[in-house]
Amino acid sequence: MQLLPQLSAGVEALGLQSVLSIAMQEQCLAYLSLLQKWNKVYNLTAVRDPQEMLVLHLMDSLSVLPHIQPGQLLDVGSGGGLPGLVVAIARPDVEVTTIDTVQKKAIFMRQVKAELGLANAQVVHGRVEAYHPPSPFSQIISRAFSDIALFKQLTDHLIAPNGRWLAMKGLVPSDELAQARIVPTEVIRLQVPHLQAERHLIVFENNK
DSSP assignments along 25-43, one per residue: HHHHHHHHHHHHHHHHHH-
Q: Looking at residue 57, what DSSP letter applies?
A: I
Amino acid identity, position 139: Q
166 labelled as ligand-binding? no
DSSP assignments along 99-153, one per residue: EES-HHHHHHHHHHHHHHT-TTEEEEES-GGG---SS-EEEEEESS-S-HHHHHH
Burial of 11 (0-12, 13-18, 19+ CB in 10 A): buried
Residues 6+ apart with CB under 8 A from 4: 22, 25, 26, 29
- Nearest in space to 159 (alpha carbons), one of 203, 101, 208, 201: 208
158 labelled as ligand-binding? no
163 labelled as ligand-binding? no
170 labelled as ligand-binding? no
85 labelled as ligand-binding? no
3-state secondary structure at position 90? helix
Contact 118, 75 (CB under 8 A): no
Which amino acids are annotated as binding site, given as ranges? 77, 82, 128-129, 143
Annotated binding site for S-adenosyl-L-methionine: 77, 82, 128-129, 143
